[in-house]
Structure 1
Amino acid sequence: MFPIVRLIKEFVVHRNAPDLPGIGTHISHHRCWPQDLDMFLEMNNGRILTILDLGRFVLAKRVGLVAAMRRNGWGLTVAGSSVMYRKRIRPLVRFRIESRAIGWDDKFFYIMQSIWIGDICAVQALFRTALTDKNGIVKPKRAFADVGFDEVPPELPMWVQNWIAAEKTRPWPPERMG
């Protein structure tokens, strides 16, 4: 179940946070609650993805995309992701999420997020996201024009470029296994 109470909390906590530039970093603070745990008494990997959603939603608000989405009837979707889990998140542990757009191309925004317990990175994720309307994908250039952001996209890090290239070799639709 989506943690709607946490989402509301995030929007309330950050309601007066200053706007961010298109590639600004949003930082949020959280705790691993009992409902987040799996049978190994650590934060469930699916819950980690859901918690990262919260960071992306508030990031989208702070860069002006949520207002643009409302004005234009756009939706927000994840079109791909890659996640590295490196440290267990145990019950009641406090952690922070850092969320930032690291670049975009003609169709997608690339969002990097990480979960930190103190100075130790527990999780790092890359998301390929897109705005959508009834006709399909809304180009980032159009979205940024709507929010008044006109900077040239930064060059994507090589590891992100490699991930994008690798994803292009992946067959779609996938082969049936049964």
Structure 2
Amino acid sequence: MNLWFRMIRVILRAVLGKNLSPLETSRVHFRVWPHDLDINMHMNNGRYLTLMDLGRLDLMIRTGMGRLVLREKWMPVAASAMVRFRRPLLPFRSFQLESRLLCWDDKWFFLEQRLVRGGRTIAFALLKGCIRRSGGHVPPGDIFQQVLDEPLASPPMPEAVRHWIETEEDIQVPEGELS
């Protein structure tokens, strides 16, 4: 239930907060609560990913994409994530989640998300996602055209994202296990 309260809080603050351009960084503040902990008494690694969902929600709403996605009944989908956990988050500690769009291609958005405390990166993630509609995906360029009323060119793809994509393409999934 606690995630529902956090989600409502994120939505309200995003709707009432400052709008962002698609390339600006979203910042959401959280605190580690006892129900976020694992048996090691620090925040569970799965909770990082759940909170990152809320960071992307804040970014979508504040850039104007959320309204369009809701109106069109589209669905934002995370396809892949690479996460690096650097330091633990202990009970009752506050931290900031920073989310920003790095680049995009004809199908995918590539985002960076960081959990930061006291100016130090606690965890870092690269995420690949898309917006789905019945019959396929919505090209990012079409979304920006509708939100901004003008085309928006993708920034150059960072080398780390390029290497990550190449690594993903090299992974062999046994036949029949995943499609």
Q: Give the TM interval when normalised to the shorter protein.
A: over 0.9
CA distance in 2, matches of 1:2, 1:132: 28
- Shift in CA distance, 76/84, structure 1 to aligned 2, threshold 3 Å: same
Deviates more, 1:138-147 or 1:88-97: 138-147
Scaled by the length of structure 2, what TM-score is found? 0.93
Instruction: State the AA in 2 paired with 1:99.
Output: S
Q: What SS does structure 2 have at the residue aligned with 1:141?
A: helix
CA pair 65-174 structure 1, distance change in 2 beyond 3 A: farther
Determine the structure 2 residue equivalent to 1:81.
81
Partner residue, 1:157: 158
How does 1:26-175 map onto structure 2 within 5 Å?
Answer: 26-148=26-148, 149-172=150-173
Change (3 A) 1:44 1:21: same
Give 1:175 shift.
7.4
- Structure 2: distance between partners of 1:139 and 1:2: 34
Q: Percent identity?
A: 32
**Matched AA of 1:151:** L
Tell me if structure 2 keeps the 8 A contact 1:2–1:50. no
Q: CA RMSD in A?
A: 1.6
Where structure 2 has 5 or more consecutive residues not aligned to the other structure, the ranges are none
Alpha-carbon distance between aligned partners in 1 of 2:174 and 2:140, rounded to the nearest angstrom: 25
TM-score (norm 1): 0.93
Q: Which one has a larger percent helix, Structure 1 or Structure 2?
A: 2
Q: Is the 8 A contact 2:83 2:125 kept in 1?
A: yes
Mapped contact 1:28–1:97 kept (Cα < 8 A): yes
Q: Distance in 2 between matches of 1:143 and 1:169?
A: 30
Unaligned runs of 5+ in 1: none
